[in-house]
Amino acid sequence: MNPVRFTIGLMQMAMEADHEANLRHGLDMAAQAADEGAQVVCLPELFTSRYFCQREDTAMFDKAEALGGPTLRACAACAEKHGVAIVAPFFERRAPGLYHNSAAVFDADGSWLGLYRKMHIPDDPAYYEKFYFTPGDLGFRAFTTRFGKVAPLICWDQWYPEAARLATLSGADALFYPTAIGWHPHEQNQYGAAQLDAWMTVQRGHAVANGVYVAAANRVGFEPCENQAGITFWGSSFIADPQGVLLAQASHDKEEILLAEVDVTHLEDVRRNWPFLRDRRIDAYSEITNRFLDSDRLSPDDAT
């Protein structure tokens, strides 16, 4: 049974080159958040490394770890020691040549709750994720911590209404989006504000459409990359309520711990007043599983 309220915490981090230093720093921040009252915390995507997907390099696969590896053991120990449930993103080694961008979920006694594997994999200049990560095969899942039900989704997933919807239908009170998103230095002046606003808007839109809390934990700081322009990660981590109201938001350039309360009574009150789940036309959505609705246009004579 869900209790009525719980406090969630996001770590907005700047990453160094050293894995151990990032792991220790991230878990120190999680411990501090727990001291401040957080009951479920979320670290940024791939938080133990710089964002290595800025280029394609097979040596980077050395960074991946199996489920039983030292990174997740450290996360479980931190959860147990500080009595805090943790959404812990990591680079998962599943088999030789088969890797995922994943997040493990540990309950507040360090026990294993389950695994999410990033379902939507981007591939854009300096975000060469399709080279590194096989798309997830576990679907969209909510996990029941002792405090409340949360669903991890990862970064590129945040642009997909289907992901937020399915996580909500799984019973999540809050969606967590560990993230690594930023500006290309040459684009920031012209497009930066619109890109950040679109990123906020689409996620706050998921909160509204689903009547669910949404929490995005991004990294921060400029990360250079050999023969590349580098990325300025834009921070701006935030927590929104089920009407999309911002409860907390971080700066675009500093490490921060964000805390906010998930109030399941408020969530139900919002859904009673805006009963979107009641009126879904599940009889009319089956074409969502089509790539595009153009099956009548498959010869060169058809209009474009």
Interface residue with its own copies, options 37, 70, 139, 185 (CB under 8 A): 139
* Shortest Å, Cβ 114 to its own copies: 15
Residue 2 interacts with its own copies (CB under 8 A): yes or no: yes
Report, as residue numbers or ranges, the catalytic residues: 45, 118, 155
Q: Quick one: which segment of 14-22, 26-34, 254-262, 283-291 binds its own copies (CB under 8 A)? A: 283-291
Smallest CA-to-CA distance from 113 within 158, 176, 61 is with 176
Kindly state the number of chain residues that form the binding site for its own copies, as judged by CB under 8 A.
61
Q: Quick one: which segment of 27-35, 106-114, 252-260, 291-299 binds its own copies (CB under 8 A)? A: 291-299
For residue 196, the cross-strand partners are none
Interface residue with its own copies, options 25, 204, 219, 252 (CB under 8 A): 204
Per residue, the 3-state secondary structure of the chain, as one string, reads: CCCCEEEEEEEEECCCCCHHHHHHHHHHHHHHHHHCCCCEEECCCCCCCCCHHHCCCHHHHHHCECCCCHHHHHHHHHHHHHCCEEEEEEEEEEECCEEEEEEEEECCCCCEEEEEECCCCCCECCECHHHHCCCCCCCCCCEECCCCEEEECCHHHHHCHHHHHHHHHCCCCEEEEECCCEECCCCHHHHHHHHHHHHHHHHHHHHHHHCCEEEEECEEEEEEECCEEEEEEECCCEEECCCCCEEEECCCCCCEEEEEEEEHHHHHHHHHHCCCHHHCCCCCCHHHHCCCCCCCCCCCCCCC
Residue 29 interacts with its own copies (CB under 8 A): yes or no: no
Query: Which of 27, 181 has the CB closer to its own copies?
Result: 181
Residue 135 interacts with its own copies (CB under 8 A): yes or no: yes
Residue 194 interacts with its own copies (CB under 8 A): yes or no: yes
Q: Quick one: which segment of 80-88, 104-112, 116-124, 247-255 binds its own copies (CB under 8 A)? A: 116-124
Interface residue with its own copies, options 122, 128, 229, 266 (CB under 8 A): 122
Residue 298 interacts with its own copies (CB under 8 A): yes or no: no
* Shortest Å, Cβ 189 to its own copies: 16
Query: Which of 32, 243 has the CB closer to its own copies?
Result: 243
Interface residue with its own copies, options 5, 19, 120, 146 (CB under 8 A): 120
Interface residue with its own copies, options 55, 81, 254, 280 (CB under 8 A): 280
- The C-alpha angle with vertex 5 and arms to 37 and 146, in degrees rounded to 5, equals 75
Residue 214 interacts with its own copies (CB under 8 A): yes or no: no
- Alpha carbons 127 and 189: distance in angstroms, whole number: 20
Residue 293 interacts with its own copies (CB under 8 A): yes or no: yes
Residue 233 token pair: 């990660």
Query: Which of 38, 231 has the CB closer to its own copies?
Result: 231
The single-letter code of the amino acid at 32 is Q
Residue 114 interacts with its own copies (CB under 8 A): yes or no: no
Residues in contact with its own copies by the rule CB under 8 A: 1-2, 119-122, 124, 135, 139-140, 144, 156, 159-166, 169-171, 194-195, 197-198, 201-206, 208-209, 243-245, 273-277, 279-294, 303-304
